[in-house]
Amino acid sequence: MFALPKLPYADDALAPVISAHTIEFHYGKHHAAYVKNLNALLAEQGAAPASLEAVIENAKASAQAKVFNNAAQCWNHSFFWLSMSPTASSASEGLSKAITAAYGDHAGLKAAFVAEGVAHFGSGWVWLAADRHGALKILSTHDAETPLSHVGLTPLLVCDLWEHAYYLDHQNDRKGFLEAWFDRLANWTFASEQFAAATSGAAGWRHPAAT
């Protein structure tokens, strides 16, 4: 059974960008439902896998859409909570250099990240990722799709573009949400750890295993 990982901060720590009310629904209902649905689907199959990454990979390879959607949404949401921090942080020297090389400066990165998120049609995710050479890439994925399926790309940060992520606090203002998220919540300590993993050939963050 996979468990719903504990949030690394209090429910109201991300307010006002993300209120405790949004956390109550987004974490307490949406994310919790993906975990519950995934465990039910795996139990139906008589499967007891340990690694969520393996579940995602197998479901993708065998076109099991329901398992893939619930498993990938579990992974993406757990990664999303870690992509935020109520404490201000800054990028490591290595990540800062990569940002300068790809986007000129932090403002250039923000503009590109927000533009990708605003232009994404429908539900999904906007990611900052790095390849093994430290080249940065901004991409968006639809629905439950995750860059875990993109060989050679390590995600550094993600922001949720589903309306349930921002509607209670920002209504239809996805751009305003993304700008405030980038300025006030993005966890550069976590992004820097992921960048170090990407460029050293390590696996990066892995979802807590099933018990």
Q: Which residue is nearest to Mn ion (CB)?
A: 160
Q: Binding to Mn ion by residue 116, rule CB under 5 A?
A: no
Coil, helix or strand for 154? Answer: strand
Q: Binding to Mn ion by residue 181, rule CB under 5 A?
A: no
Shortest Cβ 77–Mn ion spacing (Å): 6
Q: Binding to Mn ion by residue 160, rule CB under 5 A?
A: yes
Which amino acid is located at 149 in the chain?
S
- Identify whether the C-beta of residue 174 lies closer than 8 Å to the C-beta of residue 117: yes
Give the residue with the Cβ less far from Mn ion, 162 or 182: 162
Residues between 70 and 109 with contacts to Mn ion, criterion CB under 5 A: none
Q: Which residues contact 79 (CB under 8 A, 6 or more apart)?
A: 155, 158, 205
Give the residue with the Cβ less far from Mn ion, 160 or 169: 160
Shortest Cβ 110–Mn ion spacing (Å): 21
* CA–CA dist 187, 210 (Å, integer): 26
- Say how far residue 151 (Cα) sits from the centre of its chain: 17
Give the residue with the Cβ less far from Mn ion, 162 or 195: 162
Length of the chain: 211
